[in-house]
Structure 1
Amino acid sequence: MPTLTPNIENRVRKLAKPSNAAQGLQPLFEAVSNSVYAVEDRFEKEVGKGKISISVTSLSSPDKIEIVVSDNGIGLDTNRYEAFCTIDTDFKRAKGGKGVGRLFWLDAFKEIIVESVYNTTNGRSRRVFSFVLNNKEQIRPSVEDQPAAALSIGTTITFRGLRTQEYADTFPKRADTFLRYFSAHFIADFLMGDGPTIEVDLDGDLTTYPQAVADLTVGKPLKADSFELKGFGNFSIIGFTCRAEASTGLDGKHQLHLLANGRTVETRKVDNLLGVTNLERNSERDLVFHGCVSGEYLDARVNEGRTAFNLTEKTLNQISRGCMEKVRTTLLPAQVEAYVKERQANYQSFVSRYPTFGFDDDETQLERVPFHATTAEEFAAGLVKYQIRREEDRQDALQTLIEALDLERVPANFQQIVIDAAKGIQASEQLALAQHVVRRKLALELLEKLIKRIRTRDGKDDDHHLEKTLHSFIVPMGVRGDNPKEIKSRAHELWIVDERLAFTRAFASDKRLDAILAKGGSADRPDLLLWDLAYGLGVTESDELDSVNVSEPLRTVMIVEFKKPGRTSYPAAEDQLENQITKYLAQLQGGEIESFDRTRVRVAHDCIFHCYVVADIIGDLKQQLSNWETTANGQGRIRPLKNQYRGSIEVIQWQDLVNDAWMRNNATLRAAGLSRSRPTLTTGLPPHSEVSREQAFEPAGK
């Protein structure tokens, strides 16, 4: 009767081709696994007596490479030899063998020679054969059942030359890369430590396993008794805490090795599932976790090459999550508890910097973000959708209230609904205002440090650089705020100078007057010139913003000059503040400022100029201002402009500028109805305030 004839060449051609180093090494992994099985068959419970050696020469040359895998296992006796000669044999089915691993050899290597010594009923025998890719004759014996009483039992397989370009491209060419992938593939077996000794000789450089991996473990293995995952049956886990080198070559730090029939099939990064950033054990820090998972469900669902599971990614994720939950609760409870406390502290620090995300209690918010979340970005990414939903729900509720007012009959509980809605709006605004206060606090702290640094560095090389930095922090230098393409002009902190300037765009910072004025103007560059009253200083002709006509002449302009903190010398005539300011005014009064869009705005002849100089009143400047009036706080100086100019020049001390800004920030805090009681969110106050800058607050009623 006719039978089906196997086409080995076609079968090998259809095998999945390697696309990375791990897959390129798969044929060698198959050979090593076969040697492990042979050792187990011979020594059974004394498998520790087994020895496997792997010798690799000419690793960097795909054409010349030679790999010799030797073991002292049971050898290819009659039954095992027949199984070797049978494709898809079920000889090793009990161990998960599919009988196709050696087909990968044919796909990868040009030449394969097998030599084996084994016991028979008549004594010890030896056989040698070539294994070739051919449809008619794959096994070509050169020695068959030859007596070999003097030889040791075991099998040696020699592989020479990589056959296909796919294997030539992906097979590791460096010793460290080879060892990295070899260790990663068998690490679960090595961690278990109950297998044979394996020696890897890479062009004379020897590495011994499992000792090389055992040296990386810290403490005893952690075992989880058999536990059930709903829908997947029973599993067991053996966990190891290892030094970081154990994860070299693997994706991530913490690993979960999924085994089938005692062999690693897939290793999955579980950093996010474990959550713990670094483990600590036996006084060693920065350790990593490796868990080895076994279960009948996995044994029954591995592919024929034992390179992957016949399971969806969703299923593998479910199994991994369930196993890691067991690891957290059973194997590493102390480390996880410490991590949870640190994570809570990180979250509270996050909310202190970004109060708008503190719209629910800490426990609720932490449950909404992934367990591995510990950074500001990770917390924000997990909470932003809840923040959006919360705001949308509030807006929907308000819209419902508005629509209810159009109904013929208003609900009886309408008053309470309005009260609740108002509370929700207030809570939302308080959080937003808290965010505003915190951001300004950081800005003011930086400003103070800059001023202090400039004073202490007086006369040093970085003096000028720091002075420019101070100016640029308050408002970027060399820009016009009305230039829509000048993005950096929007990142100013002009509220420090005057709260009304928080959103102004009509200013010129360190720009020449001849570049600002439509006609005339000199190369003089005021530190800061502001002119658009609608955004900066209020409305000229009307209290209604919409009534502003930009063609009307400007009747209020602000000029700000910054003098270096700590400066004591003002010797020249041009250093006289009044001379410097009136030089600017002479060019501005009656002139036309040309905005970036070419719109011209005339400066009225009766324009009021608010001129401010920010400086330390010491040295020459103190003498220069000795006949000026003092300001209300007794620290600054002020003088009205004379003759044809209207307005004033006010000299503000740097510390007063900062203190006033601190006070306004505190006023914002109080206006929001925030109480100072929680040590996770700090706000800033001036040093002489009755409340310290370090005192904390939280939204009232939270």
Structure 2
Amino acid sequence: MATLTQNIENRVRKLPKPSNATQGLQPLFEAVSNSIYAIEDLLGANVAKGKVSIRVKSLSDSDKIEIVVADAGIGLDAKRYEAFCEIDTDFKRAKGGKGVGRLFWLDAFSSILVESVYDSPSGRLRRAFSFVLENDDQVKPSQEDEPAPGASTGTTITFRGLRTKEYADTFPKRADTFLRYFSAHFIADFLLGSGPAIIVDLDGDVTTYPNAVAELTIGAPLKTGAFELKQFGELSIIGFTCKAEASTGLDGKHQLHLLANGRTVETRKVDSLLGVTDLTRDANKDLVFHGCVSGEYLDLRVNEGRTAFNLTEKTLNEISRNCMEQVRTKLLPAQVEAYVEARKENYQSFVSRYPTFGFDDDDTQLQRVPFHATTAEDFAAGLVKYQIRREEDRQKTLQALIDTLELQNIPQDFDKAVSDAAREIQTSEQLALAQHVVRRKLALELMEKLIKRLRARKEKEDDHFLEKTLHSFICPMNVRGDDPTEVKSRAHELWIVDERLAFTRAFSSDKRLDAIMANGGSAERPDLLVWNLAYGLGVTETESVDTSEPLRTMMIVEFKRPGRRDYKEAEDQIEAQIIKYLGQLQGGQLESFDRARIRVAGDCIFYCYVVADIVGDLEQQLSNWETTANGQGRIRPLKNQYRGSIEVIQWQDLVNDAWNRNKATIHAAGLSRSKPTHIEASMVAAKKPEQVFDPAGS
């Protein structure tokens, strides 16, 4: 009868090739695992008394590299030698061995020498052989059953030269890199402390395991005991809290090691599943978690190279999720409880800043986001789909109610459906309003801080940029609102000046008059020129300004540096500066961005505002002006050919008026104005009730 024969060269050629350092080291890992098994076979329960020695020379040179793996194990006796010579042997099946690890050696290394001392019925013997990649006679003995009196049992394997480009490219070339990946692969074994000592000598630099890893653990191991998982049977987890260095070379901080037959097969990052950011223990901070998972389900489903499980990614994720649930509830309950409380506080802070996401109670919303979610972006990303679904359902409900009204017979419970829909609309609008108010509150607080800083710095030139910052905050500088290509012109806060300007685009900010007028105009640059107040009263930005009728009202706003006291120059005269603008605008034509011309009526009413602190020279300059209703500002009507008025408004009045206009909604949103500083308080202490700022005089 004929027997099937092995084509070893073809079998090795078809082995999976390494694509990273972990896979590049896999042949060495196989040799070390074999040494550990040999020590277990010899010492049994006393395996921790054994030793594996790994000596590496010329690590950086793939052609000259030499690695010697030596153990004081049971050695290659007749039975084990026979198993070594049989591909796909089931000799180590009970321990998860697949009998193919030696093929990875042939794939990786150019030269492999094996020497072993073992006991036999006739005494202690020695054998030595070369292991080569050929279809016939892969094992080439140089010594066979030679007496070795006085020698210790064990096996020494010498690997030289990396045979293929794939291994040469992926094998670590630095000692620290080698140790990181070596530690990462065997870390579960080292943490469990159930194996022999492993001594790694890298060109004379010695590291001893498991001591090197044991020094990184804090406190005693944490054990779940056996627990049952549906579909996965009985599993158990031994957990360790470690210093952060224990995760060096691994992806992420916290790790779950899935073991098969006591050996690590796969390590998975579980930062998002653990969630806990603070594992403080025994006064140690910045700790990481490492959990070792064992069970028969995993033992039976590992591939022949013990490099991966024969399981789908979905199944491995499910096992990891279930195991980490056990870790959270059984091993780290106190840390998880503290994390959950901190996470809830983070979420509540998030909703206070972004109220539109608070459309359900806190516990419901937190269940909808990943357990590791703690930042605003995390919460928003997790909740946005529920927000969209809610709005979609609400719109469908409203459309259904509209359709019902078309029916001849309206259901008796129609009033309840309408009432429920109205309540949903009201809730949605309240959330949107709260979001709007939160943004406005922050804007006003920032503005107050800017004003305070400018006053405190007085007129130091190095803070000149802050003056521009204040102007730019209210309205970006050197832009036209009607320029559709100018995105930043839409980011203005003109509602601070007048509520009706919240959405206006009919303005220019710090633009030369000769750039916005059809004919004439000078290099003068009004801080803010608004030429269509109606635009702020309801005309949408897609509607064009009516150019057939001349402008009857215009607004001019000048911003003076808060705290400024020096107005000695001729151009600093407030009234003279405003009249310069009016002389060019009245009876002229503005040219809109689309080249349409907008006439300014000869009897146009100009509402001119100067925002300043009335102190120093300005206080003297305005001494014969009328005071405004609140007693703080100054006002003067325009004379002769100009109609309108010039009003000087204190910076703090501008801010206070904006606060007052938004007071009701800020209060309704559960917010409050920050307490004024002593500078601000002193300025408003004698104030009369603030007037509502109304440029159109309505």
Following superposition, the deviation at residue 479 of structure 1 comes to 1.4
Deviations 1:651-676 (A, max 9, x none): 11111111111112213346xxx374
Match of 2:153 in 1: 153
AA paired with 1:57? K
Match of 1:635 in 2: 632
Q: Indicate if the aligned counterparts of 1:355 and 1:434 stay in contact, CA closer than 8 A.
A: yes
Please give the residue correspondences for 1:241-256 in structure 2 after superposition, counting only pairs within 5 Å.
Answer: 241-256=241-256
CA, structure 1 residues 547+333, in 2 after alignment: closer, same or farther (shift >3 Å)?
A: closer
Q: Indicate if the aligned counterparts of 2:115 and 2:155 stay in contact, CA closer than 8 A.
A: yes
Match of 2:565 in 1: 568
SS of the residue 1:374 aligns to: coil
Match of 1:693 in 2: none
Q: Indicate if the aligned counterparts of 2:437 and 2:669 stay in contact, CA closer than 8 A.
A: no
Following superposition, the deviation at residue 339 of structure 1 comes to 0.6
Following superposition, the deviation at residue 201 of structure 1 comes to 1.3
Between the aligned partners of 2:211 and 2:505, the Cα distance in structure 1 is 69
SS of the residue 1:99 aligns to: coil
Match of 2:692 in 1: none
Match of 1:624 in 2: 621
AA paired with 1:604? A
Between the aligned partners of 1:264 and 1:596, the Cα distance in structure 2 is 69
Out of 560, 571, 578, the position equivalent to 1:581 is 578
Q: Indicate if the aligned counterparts of 2:501 and 2:533 stay in contact, CA closer than 8 A.
A: no
Between the aligned partners of 2:544 and 2:495, the Cα distance in structure 1 is 25
Kindly indicate whether residue 142 of structure 2 is the aligned counterpart of residue 142 of structure 1. Answer: yes
Match of 1:650 in 2: 647
AA paired with 1:532? N
Please give the residue correspondences for 1:79-94 in structure 2 after superposition, counting only pairs within 5 Å.
Answer: 79-94=79-94
Deviations 1:2-21 (A, max 9, x none): 11110000000000000111
AA paired with 2:644? G
Deviations 1:161-217 (A, max 9, x none): 111011111111111111111111100000001211111111221111111111111
Deviations 1:260-300 (A, max 9, x none): 00000001111111111221111212211100000100000
Q: Report which stretch shifted further, 566-575 or 117-126.
A: 117-126
Following superposition, the deviation at residue 416 of structure 1 comes to 2.4
RMSD of equivalent CA atoms: 1.8
Q: Indicate if the aligned counterparts of 1:560 and 1:613 stay in contact, CA closer than 8 A.
A: yes
Match of 2:65 in 1: 65
SS of the residue 1:219 aligns to: strand
Kindly indicate whether residue 511 of structure 2 is the aligned counterpart of residue 514 of structure 1. Answer: no
Q: Indicate if the aligned counterparts of 1:224 and 1:330 stay in contact, CA closer than 8 A.
A: yes
Kindly indicate whether residue 523 of structure 2 is the aligned counterpart of residue 523 of structure 1. Answer: yes
Following superposition, the deviation at residue 551 of structure 1 comes to 3.1
CA, structure 1 residues 494+424, in 2 after alignment: closer, same or farther (shift >3 Å)?
A: same
SS of the residue 1:311 aligns to: coil
Match of 1:598 in 2: 595
Between the aligned partners of 2:544 and 2:193, the Cα distance in structure 1 is 84
Q: Indicate if the aligned counterparts of 2:505 and 2:535 stay in contact, CA closer than 8 A.
A: yes
Between the aligned partners of 1:56 and 1:546, the Cα distance in structure 2 is 78
SS of the residue 1:285 aligns to: coil
Between the aligned partners of 1:470 and 1:205, the Cα distance in structure 2 is 62
CA, structure 1 residues 533+660, in 2 after alignment: closer, same or farther (shift >3 Å)?
A: closer
Between the aligned partners of 2:43 and 2:151, the Cα distance in structure 1 is 18
Following superposition, the deviation at residue 548 of structure 1 comes to 6.0
Q: Indicate if the aligned counterparts of 1:441 and 1:684 stay in contact, CA closer than 8 A.
A: no
SS of the residue 2:536 aligns to: coil
Q: Indicate if the aligned counterparts of 1:662 and 1:684 stay in contact, CA closer than 8 A.
A: no
AA paired with 1:625? L
CA, structure 1 residues 675+499, in 2 after alignment: closer, same or farther (shift >3 Å)?
A: closer
Deviations 1:65-93 (A, max 9, x none): 11111111111111111111110011111
Between the aligned partners of 2:191 and 2:127, the Cα distance in structure 1 is 34
Match of 2:352 in 1: 352
Deviations 1:28-65 (A, max 9, x none): 11011111111111111111111111111111111111
Following superposition, the deviation at residue 463 of structure 1 comes to 1.5
Q: Indicate if the aligned counterparts of 1:228 and 1:234 stay in contact, CA closer than 8 A.
A: yes
Q: Report which stretch shifted further, 217-226 or 147-156.
A: 147-156
Following superposition, the deviation at residue 684 of structure 1 comes to 5.9
AA paired with 1:367? Q
SS of the residue 1:56 aligns to: strand
Please give the residue correspondences for 1:198-213 in structure 2 after superposition, counting only pairs within 5 Å.
Answer: 198-213=198-213
Out of 604, 607, 614, the position equivalent to 1:607 is 604
Between the aligned partners of 2:433 and 2:511, the Cα distance in structure 1 is 34
CA, structure 1 residues 652+203, in 2 after alignment: closer, same or farther (shift >3 Å)?
A: same
Q: Indicate if the aligned counterparts of 2:483 and 2:593 stay in contact, CA closer than 8 A.
A: yes
Between the aligned partners of 2:4 and 2:544, the Cα distance in structure 1 is 94
Match of 1:339 in 2: 339
Percent identity, please.
78
AA paired with 2:35? S
Out of 553, 556, 561, the position equivalent to 2:553 is 556
AA paired with 1:445? E
**Structure 1 segments (4+ residues) deviating >4 Å:** 545-548, 681-690
Deviations 1:285-339 (A, max 9, x none): 2211100000100000000000000001111111111111111111111111111
SS of the residue 1:107 aligns to: helix
Between the aligned partners of 1:641 and 1:649, the Cα distance in structure 2 is 7
Match of 2:451 in 1: 451
AA paired with 2:464? H
Deviations 1:372-423 (A, max 9, x none): 1111111111111111111111111111221222221222222222222211
Match of 1:55 in 2: 55
Kindly indicate whether residue 12 of structure 2 is the aligned counterpart of residue 12 of structure 1. Answer: yes
Following superposition, the deviation at residue 550 of structure 1 comes to 3.0
Match of 1:223 in 2: 223
Match of 2:21 in 1: 21
Match of 2:474 in 1: 474
AA paired with 2:312? T
Deviations 1:75-115 (A, max 9, x none): 11111111111100111111000000010000001111111
CA, structure 1 residues 159+76, in 2 after alignment: closer, same or farther (shift >3 Å)?
A: same
Q: Indicate if the aligned counterparts of 2:74 and 2:153 stay in contact, CA closer than 8 A.
A: yes
Number of residues of Structure 1 aligned to a counterpart in Structure 2: 679
Please give the residue correspondences for 1:144-543 in structure 2 after superposition, counting only pairs within 5 Å.
Answer: 144-536=144-536
CA, structure 1 residues 682+94, in 2 after alignment: closer, same or farther (shift >3 Å)?
A: farther
Q: Indicate if the aligned counterparts of 2:480 and 2:509 stay in contact, CA closer than 8 A.
A: yes
SS of the residue 2:535 aligns to: coil
Between the aligned partners of 1:528 and 1:149, the Cα distance in structure 2 is 102
Match of 1:663 in 2: 660
SS of the residue 2:568 aligns to: coil
Between the aligned partners of 1:458 and 1:146, the Cα distance in structure 2 is 97
SS of the residue 1:440 aligns to: helix
Following superposition, the deviation at residue 529 of structure 1 comes to 1.1
AA paired with 1:654? W
Following superposition, the deviation at residue 130 of structure 1 comes to 0.7
Following superposition, the deviation at residue 533 of structure 1 comes to 3.4
CA, structure 1 residues 656+538, in 2 after alignment: closer, same or farther (shift >3 Å)?
A: same
Q: Report which stretch shifted further, 354-363 or 142-151.
A: 142-151
Between the aligned partners of 2:299 and 2:672, the Cα distance in structure 1 is 56
Q: Indicate if the aligned counterparts of 1:530 and 1:536 stay in contact, CA closer than 8 A.
A: no
AA paired with 2:528? L
AA paired with 2:650? Q
AA paired with 1:118? Y
Q: What TM-score comes out, normalization by structure 1 length? A: 0.94
AA paired with 1:40? E
Q: Please list every run of 5 or more consecutive structure 1 residues that lacks an aligned counterpart in the other structure.
A: 691-702
AA paired with 1:378? D
Following superposition, the deviation at residue 238 of structure 1 comes to 0.2
